[in-house]
Amino acid sequence: MSMKNIEIKKLLRLLYIPIIILLITFILNTNSILSKKSCIIVDGKIIPVQYDKNKMLKDILQENDISLNENDIIYSDLNKPVKPNSKIKIIRVDKKKSKVSSKSEFRPTWHKIYNSNLRKVELQKGMVKYTDSDITQVFHDSKLESIVYDKQLSYSISFYRLLLLDKNNNVEKVYDLSKAKRMKMIATAYYPGDPLAWRDGTITFLGQKMQRGIVAVDPKVIPLRTRLYISGYGYGYAGDTGSAIKGDRIDLGVNNAEEEKSWMFREVTVYILEKSNTW
């Protein structure tokens, strides 16, 4: 072996260890750099961020065209570098103001059942509580996070309502008297067998048997076959007419001549409920 080859081998032996050291150092540094990678999570995207101890988070956001709105949430300091291996989440916050209203169920405070006029009915007095609210809905990344009640106003309204009951006392229909059309009218009365009534008051204009609850009306004012509620008298059904019953007059069917006297020319309030082929 020549002297030259011997010297090359010695040189290679001397370089072997430094090369190994350099290779190991490179691998360690590469892993270190990779392990220090972070990311920003925003608007449904994951944006990788290279660790740089000299770069502030606000600068990184600017480089990536990420702007923060007034209400957005970020749990990292904008004026500090991004920490190694960190996940920086930006929550987009949107606030929407609106008005909502709610009401409670009707709560009866008084009631009475009547069954003297055509059918059984129940008159109720009660109240409903209303609440008007100004609210702010808070959305995090387009998902509703919370509702803030900024202002609330509550008030109660009392009113009467009429319930039509079937034979088993089940509620068949409910009428809110506060919403029904009402008219002030002058009442008179007639009874089955009344000599002044058409056909002695035994058969109505619609061919029905005359009884308490049937009332005579001016069809130009109150259509025939209309369900009614008359103050002090109770439930009524517009099933008859009369030559003297014109305009704001109403003739109430009662049981006898004695009861008729108590209703002569009394002012009543008539509530118009609805038209119906049955009472």
244 and 192 in a single domain? The answer is: yes
| Residue 28 confidence (pLDDT) above 50 | no
Kindly indicate the confidence band of residue 25, based on its pLDDT and cuts at 50, 70 and 90: low
User: What pTM does this model have?
Assistant: 0.69
Per-residue model confidence as pLDDT tens digits over 205-222: 999 999 999 999 999 999
Q: What is the pLDDT of residue 32?
A: 46
Per-residue model confidence as pLDDT tens digits over 160-197: 999 999 989 999 999 999 999 999 999 999 999 998 88
138 and 154 in a single domain? The answer is: yes
3 state SS of 26: helix
| Number of domains, the chain | 3
The answer to whether residue 87 sits within a structural domain is yes
Per-residue model confidence as pLDDT tens digits over 60-80: 999 999 999 999 999 999 999
The conformation of residue 231, written as its DSSP 8-state character, comes to T
187 and 271 in a single domain? The answer is: yes
151 and 168 in a single domain? The answer is: yes
Kindly indicate the confidence band of residue 12, based on its pLDDT and cuts at 50, 70 and 90: low
The answer to whether residue 72 sits within a structural domain is yes
The answer to whether residue 12 sits within a structural domain is no
110 and 81 in a single domain? The answer is: no
Taking the CA atoms of residue 60, residue 62, residue 64 and residue 65 in that order, the dihedral angle to the nearest 10 degrees is 160
70 and 141 in a single domain? The answer is: no
Amino acid at 100: V
Q: What is the pLDDT of residue 33?
A: 44
The answer to whether residue 14 sits within a structural domain is no
211 and 254 in a single domain? The answer is: yes
Half-sphere exposure of 63 (CA within 13 A, CB side): 11
Per-residue model confidence as pLDDT tens digits over 114-133: 999 999 999 999 999 999 99
Q: Provide the residue range defining the domain that includes 76.
A: 37-91
Taking the CA atoms of residue 218, residue 220, residue 224 and residue 229 in that order, the dihedral angle to the nearest 10 degrees is -70
Average pLDDT, the chain: 90
87 and 103 in a single domain? The answer is: no
Q: What is the mean pLDDT of residues 232-258?
A: 96
111 and 150 in a single domain? The answer is: yes
Cα angle 166, 169, 175; round to 5: 70
Which helix (H) or strand (E) segment holds residue 115: the answer is none
CATH classification at residue 271: 2.40.40.10
The answer to whether residue 10 sits within a structural domain is no
